[in-house]
């Protein structure tokens, strides 16, 4: 019949087929669309760093470029010779400037450090290559604390004799001051952290190290100087019986003791204000 042929032709038309195809698909609501979109745009969260990694102060080890030039470094009055790759040494802006100054040298570059201690520069060089220096800093997960590896308690503190202060100075203090001179702030933080782990240091060593720190850091230094002031205040019962402390204060000649006086007054003010009723 006419009616059936009309229906058949309509069913064969493009509009009918398109309408049927679209009608078979279920129309999704806005919520469903948002939910599906949110499922597709899930990003993986970065893993949380462990305390040892997040609090580490040392830099990552450096793999030297095999094509990097070899720099000779003469250290100390004895002119002890060290060798280092230029790209590693130039992590310090101090040494980078020294290498650029010898750019046109044909016989090889050489850096002179006549006032540096070979033992100290060896630690600096070890840090530039490995991100740490001996003894290495390690983290104890069970105790949630830092410690120094391969330390022998019977040996005592690691010190180097310094003629300008007339006594021995803690090695970490000298490394801190050298790191400041070489513009290596991460090494400064590492040396300060290691020094804070030292124990059983003699009063005379603390005082000579404090005087060395004051002589080799700018007045703006708020880390190493504050460390020694806090150390002396915490050990005040020992220092007030120390003949070395009395002799040092009588000799004077250093802003250390005025800063110590100010720090102790501030400490007493804090105690007084804490005890006074509000």
Q: What is the pLDDT of residues 206-261, one digit of tens each?
A: 999 999 999 999 999 989 999 999 998 888 888 877 777 777 777 776 788 888 88
Distance CA(174)–CA(158), nearest Å, equals 11
Distance CA(261)–CA(258), nearest Å, equals 5
Local structure of 145: helix, strand or coil: strand
Helix residue ranges, H only, 182-255: 185-196, 203-215, 224-234, 236-239, 243-251
| pLDDT at residue 246, rounded to an integer | 74
Predicted confidence (pLDDT) per residue in 18-51, tens digit: 444 444 444 555 445 444 444 444 445 545 545 4
Percent of the chain beyond pLDDT 90?
A: 45
Mean pLDDT value across residues 111-121 = 96
Instruction: Say yes or no to pLDDT of 56 above 50.
Output: no
Contacts of 264 (CB under 8 A, 6+ apart): 233, 236
Distance CA(42)–CA(146), nearest Å, equals 37
Tell me the pLDDT band of 263, cut-offs 50, 70 and 90. Answer: confident
Predicted model pTM: 0.72
Angle between helices 224-234 and 171-181 (to 10 degrees): 160
For the chain, the structural domain boundaries read 54-118, 134-275
Percent of the chain beyond pLDDT 70?
A: 72
pLDDT mean across residues, the chain: 79
120: its two tokens: 């100290």
């Amino acid at each position: 019949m006419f009616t059936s042929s009309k229906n058949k032709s309509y069913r064969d038309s493009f509009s009918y087929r398109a309408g049927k195809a679209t009608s078979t698909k279920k129309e999704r609501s806005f919520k469903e669309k948002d939910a599906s979109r949110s499922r597709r745009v899930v990003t993986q969260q970065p893993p949380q760093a462990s305390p040892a990694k997040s609090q580490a102060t040392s830099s990552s080890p450096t793999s030297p470029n095999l094509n990097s030039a070899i720099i000779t470094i003469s250290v100390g009055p004895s002119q002890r010779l060290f060798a280092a790759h230029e790209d590693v040494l130039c992590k310090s802006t101090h040494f980078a400037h020294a290498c650029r100054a010898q750019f046109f040298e044909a016989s090889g570059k050489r850096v002179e450090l006549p006032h540096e201690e070979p033992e100290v520069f060896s630690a600096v060089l070890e840090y530039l290559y490995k991100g740490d220096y001996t003894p290495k800093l390690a983290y104890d997960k069970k105790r949630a604390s830092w410690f120094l590896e391969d330390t022998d308690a019977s040996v005592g503190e690691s010190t180097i004799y310094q003629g300008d202060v007339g006594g021995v100075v803690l090695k970490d203090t000298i490394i801190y001051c050298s790191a400041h001179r070489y513009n290596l702030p991460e090494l400064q933080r590492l040396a300060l952290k290691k020094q804070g782990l030292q124990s059983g240091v003699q009063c005379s060593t603390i005082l000579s190290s404090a005087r060395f720190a004051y002589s080799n850091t700018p007045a703006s230094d708020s880390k190493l100087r504050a460390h020694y002031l806090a150390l002396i205040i915490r050990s005040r019962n020992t220092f007030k019986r120390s003949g070395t402390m009395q002799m040092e204060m009588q000799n004077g000649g250093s802003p250390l003791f005025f800063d110590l006086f100010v720090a102790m007054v501030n400490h007493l003010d804090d105690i007084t204000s804490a005890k006074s009723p509000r």
